[in-house]
Each structure stands twice: as C-alpha cells, then as structure tokens.
Amino acid sequence: MAETAMLRKRMSVSASESPEELRPPAWSFVPRAFAPLLVGTVVAGILYFFVQPAIGGFGSNLLLFAGINIILAVSLTIVNGFTGQFSIGHAGFMALGGYTAAAIVYYGSFKIYGDASFHGGLVSWTGRAGGFRGPLLGSGDLLFVGATVAGGIVAAAAGWLVGLPSLRLRGDYLAIVTLGFGEIVRVVLQGTDEQLRRYDLELIRSTPMLKLMNKLGGALGFIGIPAYSTVFWVYLWVAIMLIVAVRLKHSSYGRALLSIREDEIAAQAVGVNITRYKVRAFVLSSFFAGVAGALYALQIGSINAGELGFQRSFEILIMVVLGGLGSVSGATLAAIILTALPEVLRFVDQYRMIVYSLLLIIMMIVRPQGLFGVREAWDLFRRRRPRGGA
C-alpha cells in the first residue's frame, strides 16, 4: 500500500535516536551559551555608567528597585506561571537570601578588613560620582558576589523544603503552606539576637561565621551593611534571570513545567515526574528570590524582616498575574509598571493606595489574563504562520 510506505518513511526517526546530523557544530557552543550574557553585561554597564548618572538619585533608585522587582517577579513566574504551583511566600525566600548575604558581607568584612567599610571596585561604587579612584573590581566585590550566591543557595535550600509538601498538596493548600512558611521565616528572623557592632570586633573575629548567623538584629533589623549592590550588579542578575527564564520556557524542561500547570494527570501520562519537576521549579525560583533579597539588602545597606511579610509576597504575586501567568516579558513589564506606579500616584497622596487597589480590581475584572497571557511580548508582533500545508 502506498500510504503505508509513506508512513514507514515518515516514521523512520524517533526522538530517542536522533541522527547525528541534528547536532550543531562544536564551535557554536560558546557563542550560543554566552552571547546573551555578554549582551546583558554590556547593557548593565551602559545603565550603570551612562544612564544612571543622567537620571539622578530618585530615578536611579527607581531603576534599582525595578531591577530587583523584575528578578522577584520573573522568579515567581517559574513556580506560579510555568508550573502552576500557587506560592504566596516568595518574600520569605527573599528575606532568607537577604539576611544570609547581609550577614556574610557584614561579618565577613569585619573578619577580613576589621571594619564594615567599602572595599569594592568601580562597578560597586555607590558614593558620589567621579569620587572613586581604584580598579574596576575590588576584593570586596568577590565577597559581595559570593554572598549573593550564598544567599541564593540558602533560599534554594528552603525552596526545596517548601517544594516537598507540594508532593501532596494542591492549589490553595499549597498556597497556604507557602504563606505560613513566609510568616515563619519572618517571625524567626525577627526573633534573632542583637547585631554585633564595631566595638565587638574581637568578639566577631573570635566567633565562627555560623554562630554569627544568629545575630541578625531581631525586630530592629540588620543595619550598617556595606552597600555593594549597584545598578550594574542588579541588572547583571536581571539579565541572568531573564536568560534562564526564557531559555527554560522554550525548552523541553520548561514545557514539562507548563504541562504540569495545564494538566497534572496528562503530564504524568506522558512520563513527566511531576513531583520532581515541581520541587525543581521551587528550588530554581527561590534561588533567584534569594539573590534578589541579597541585592536588595546590600543596596539599601539594611534589611528588616518586618517589611518582608506576606504583603511583600502579594506585591510580587500581583506583578506575575498582572503580566500574564507564564509570560516572562509580561512579568518584567508588570514589575516595572508596579515599581513606578506608586511614585506616579504620589500626586494623589493619601488616595494612592486606594487608587492602586481599585486599579488592581478593575484590571482583574477587565483583563483577567493579564497583559500578555501566557505569551511573550515578541509573540504579539510575530506574524501568524499561514494555514495549510505546502
């Protein structure tokens, strides 16, 4: 039968035994892997060296917070948007990462330099413009970057712990657990011991780092952290976050996450180990939330768990939903808009929060799918493929 022969020919390739011809040349790996990161670094550099000086203190603060919020919103997109796991404890991961990084940089500085002053290079310089003489990167930057990653790792470990219950819980119940987790983190951090200060230098030096992790200032917050986090670092991480999220979304890995969101039973039927993917989504997402917390703490120079309660988690969640569940560019745009909105609304002063909440309600009623739905900004411009075959 002609038809069968045609079928036979068509079915000759399977995914498990893809022919070697599909493999790209080896040399193409480096540009493919790192070109976007290079672009990101350049953009971060431009923002830091050229844009920031031009927009003044108020503008650059907005720029910084927008960047941190982008990381938070996009990281939450991985859990909420891609995987469909409803998490409302994101600020808890942020707090964990922030406090970890703050403690490492603060106490680390005392241990290494004997004081908590700035030891970074040009890209970390937050002082007056032009007042810096020194190399591009300083030894303090190493401490800072290490602390940021450590903050991410601690948050990721917590994400693993919280992800485990998602083996058993669905929907709202998981949301409540994450909410409870966030509150526990907040209360525990607010119950930590008094922060050690400059005059305790000898004590700081003689106490092992792990033991210092309990002296985080309690309800007063952790203060006096040397501020290394600049527009450059924040947007470098924004670039990393965006690359990770976009690459994830357009890969088998991300597709598996999306399939869990769409239908868990069907996902299992095509071989997706849903518990494993859920936990991994949590881990990845909380890593970046921790990084964002670290960037935040080291930018302000202080961190207070009291400000990182469920309200903060809600803010991030709102960005994700407003952008469109599962849309990376949507979350990014929503993060920028929602960072700027309260400032824009300053002219209405005490009605600011009222206008904000009304906008939120109206938005949900008028455009429930968010700005972009599950799609990306660039999908909107792409022309639809013509129907019918060749």
Partner 1 sequence: MSDAIGDNLLLDVRDVSIRFGGLCAVNKFSLALPPGALYGLIGPNGAGKTTAFNLLTGVYRPDGGSVYVQGKRVDGLKPHQIAHAGLARTFQNIRLFGELSVLDNVRMGAQMRGWHGLPGTLLRTGRYVKAERGIDRHARQLLDIMGIASREAEQAKNLPYGDQRRLEIARALATEPKVLLLDEPAAGMNPQEKHDLMQLIRLIRDRFRLAILLIEHDMKLVMSICERITVLDHGETIAAGNPSEIQANPKVIEAYLGEPV
Partner 2 sequence: MTQLIQTLTDGIAVGSLYALIALGYTLVYGILQFINFAHSDVFALGAWLSFTIATWFGLAAGSGATTPPWYIGLAVLALAMIGCGIVGFLIERLAYKPLRAAPRLNVLITAIGVSLLLENVGQLEGMFRGHHFKIFGPYPKAMPALIPDRVLLHFAAVQFRLVDAVVLGTALFLMVAIQWLVFRTRLGMAMRAVSFNHNSAALMGINVSRIISATFVLGSMLAAAAGFLYAMKYAQLKQTADNVWVLLGLKAFVAAVVGGIGNIRGAMLGGIFIGLIEFFGVAYLSDKYRDVYVFSLLIIVLLVRPSGILGKATVEKV
| Sites of contact with partner 1 (CB under 8 A) | 3-4, 7-8, 10-11, 13-20, 22-26, 28-29, 32-33, 243-244, 247-248, 251-256, 258-259, 261-263, 265-274, 280, 284, 326, 374, 384-385, 387-389
- Sequence-distant (6+) residues with CB within 8 A of 38 are none
Secondary structure class of 130 (helix, strand, coil): coil
**Long-range CB pairs of 128-134, under 8 A, 24+ apart, other chains included:** 129/53
What is the nearest approach in angstroms of partner 1 to the Cβ of residue 266? 4
What is the nearest approach in angstroms of partner 1 to the Cβ of residue 285? 13
For residue 385, the partner it binds in partner 1, partner 2, none, with Cβ less than 5 to 8 A by kind, is partner 1
Nearer to partner 2, 17 or 172 (CB): 172
Site for partner 2 contains 160 (CB under 8 A): no
Exposed, middle or buried: residue 262 (CB in 10 Å: 0-12, 13-18, 19+)?
exposed
∠ CA 250-253-256, rounded to 5°: 100
Cβ distance 107 to 196 under 8 Å? yes
What is the nearest approach in angstroms of partner 1 to the Cβ of residue 374? 5
- Interacting residue with partner 2 among 191, 205, 209, 273 (CB under 8 A): 191
For residue 365, the partner it binds in partner 1, partner 2, none, with Cβ less than 5 to 8 A by kind, is partner 2
Site for partner 2 contains 295 (CB under 8 A): no
Nearer to partner 2, 146 or 180 (CB): 180
Provide the angle, in degrees to the nearest 10, between the axes of the packed helices 274-300 and 90-113: 50
Residue range at the interface with partner 2 (CB under 8 A); choices 13-21, 131-139, 203-211, 313-321: 313-321
Site for partner 2 contains 342 (CB under 8 A): no
Place of tokens 């299992």: 268
CA dihedral 276, 370, 344, 316 (to 10 degrees): -20
DSSP secondary structure, 15-44, as one string: GGG--GGGSPPGGGHHHHHHHHHHHHHHHH
Residue range at the interface with partner 2 (CB under 8 A); choices 93-101, 228-236, 303-311, 336-344: 303-311
Site for partner 2 contains 180 (CB under 8 A): yes
Q: Read off φ and ψ for residue 119, nearest 5 degrees.
A: -130, 25
What is the nearest approach in angstroms of partner 1 to the Cβ of residue 335? 21
For residue 16, the partner it binds in partner 1, partner 2, none, with Cβ less than 5 to 8 A by kind, is partner 1
What is the nearest approach in angstroms of partner 2 to the Cβ of residue 75? 17
Interacting residues with partner 2 between 36 and 75 (CB under 8 A):
none
DSSP secondary structure, 282-312, as one string: HHHHHHHHHHHHHHHHHHHS-B-GGGSSHHH
Give the separation between CA 324 and CA 367, rounded to whole angstroms.
10
Exposed, middle or buried: residue 377 (CB in 10 Å: 0-12, 13-18, 19+)?
middle
Site for partner 2 contains 173 (CB under 8 A): yes
What is the nearest approach in angstroms of partner 1 to the Cβ of residue 275? 9
The partner residues of 222 in beta bridges, in order of sequence, read: 303
Give the separation between CA 88 and CA 110, rounded to whole angstroms.
36
What is the nearest approach in angstroms of partner 2 to the Cβ of residue 319? 10
The residues of the shown chain that bind partner 2, judged by CB under 8 A, are 80, 86, 165, 168-169, 171-173, 175-177, 179-181, 183-184, 187-188, 190-191, 265, 309-311, 314, 317-318, 321, 325, 350, 353-354, 356-358, 360-361, 364-365, 368
